[in-house]
Amino acid sequence: MSDYPVTGTGLGLRRALMGPLSQAPDAPVDFLEVAPENWIPMGGRLGREFRAFTERYPFVSHGLSLSLGGPEPLDWDLLAGVKGFLDQHRIRCYTEHLSYCSDHGQLYDLMPIPFTEEAVHYVAGRIRQVQDFLGRRIGIEHVSYYAAPDPAAAELSELEFLTAVLSEADCGLLLDVNNAYVNGINHGYDAAEFIRALPGERIMYVHIAGHYDEARDLKVDTHGSDVIEAVWRLLEIAYQQFGVLPTLLERDFNFPAFAGLCAELERIAATQRRHGLLTRSA
């Protein structure tokens, strides 16, 4: 575990969770995650409250709007703010989405990149530029998607595309087991086999989350519900394949009582213990 930026069980820090978390010093949380875009401009009382969390917990950072696969030039002003944020708060690692979200303005969604050799080279080159600018290796997350861009022109599978980008960019991977489940259902592949085939040495940490059942063959990644049993099984498979990985629970809205959230965090910790990690709640 010493090669990972963090260890144990994590939680995505949302403003609605700051009060309950600050009042629960024994919550089963080993690290927290934030989107830098939501905190770079913050000051005053909210900034002081955030600083109290960064002094109490190790932090990782997961970006929302860099648009690594987009047609527009990289946003160097944003990256300068991210660099300062990472340094100021001693953030352990920075990850972003393998997608694009802008084209002459924000699209407010994570759009899939065509699975082509040209796109591999384009995105990998942009990732290398980001890493050079930040002076650190970053991680990329494979995103959930609902319609493949120009499937007739696809030269690679999703797995082949992802692994090719990871190799050419020489970057890390943020494994999202819920995204693997959602994509497996929506696009007809075995999510367990997808996970087993990933380059485990590149995994920085893991996301686990809930989703919405639009239909039997259509799942929507929402982070607004409890994790289902099939996704918990995929987390077990990831641990069996790669060993215990730092794992973070994402919940963006529709929050349960904090005790309910803690129950899911405890389940992550229990799964980690069962696979051999000594956690602080053991």
SS3 of residue 210 by DSSP: coil
Which pLDDT score is estimated for 282? 35
CA distance 21 to 213: 29
SS3 of residue 145 by DSSP: coil
Helices (H), strands (E): how many in the chain? 9, 12
Q: How many domains does the chain have?
A: 1
Residue 1 in domain = no
Residue 280 in domain = no
CB of 173 within 8 A of CB of 204?
Answer: yes
Which pLDDT score is estimated for 278? 55
Domain span at residue 111 reads: 9-274
CB of 156 within 8 A of CB of 162?
Answer: no
CA distance 173 to 137: 10
Residue 3 in domain = no
Residue 279 in domain = no
Per-residue pLDDT of the chain (282 residues; tens, 9 = 90+): 348 999 999 999 999 999 999 998 889 999 999 999 989 877 788 889 999 999 999 999 999 889 898 888 999 999 999 999 999 999 999 999 998 774 544 544 567 888 999 999 999 999 999 999 999 999 999 998 877 766 766 799 999 999 999 999 999 999 999 999 999 999 899 999 999 999 999 999 999 999 877 777 877 778 778 999 999 999 999 999 999 999 999 999 899 999 999 999 999 999 999 998 655 433
Residue 189 in domain = yes
Which pLDDT score is estimated for 224? 79
Q: What CATH number is attached to the domain comprising 145? A: 3.20.20.150
CA distance 165 to 32: 27
Which pLDDT score is estimated for 65? 86
Nearest alpha-carbon partner for 113 in 152, 139, 138, 148: 148
Residues 6+ apart with CB under 8 A from 228: 210, 211
Which pLDDT score is estimated for 108? 46
Structure-token match 């260890």, residue found: 7
For the chain, the distance separating the N- and C-terminal CA atoms, rounded to the nearest angstrom, is: 17
Which pLDDT score is estimated for 97? 94
Residue 2 in domain = no
Residue 281 in domain = no
CB of 97 within 8 A of CB of 221?
Answer: no
Structure-token match 């927290």, residue found: 32
CB of 18 within 8 A of CB of 274?
Answer: no
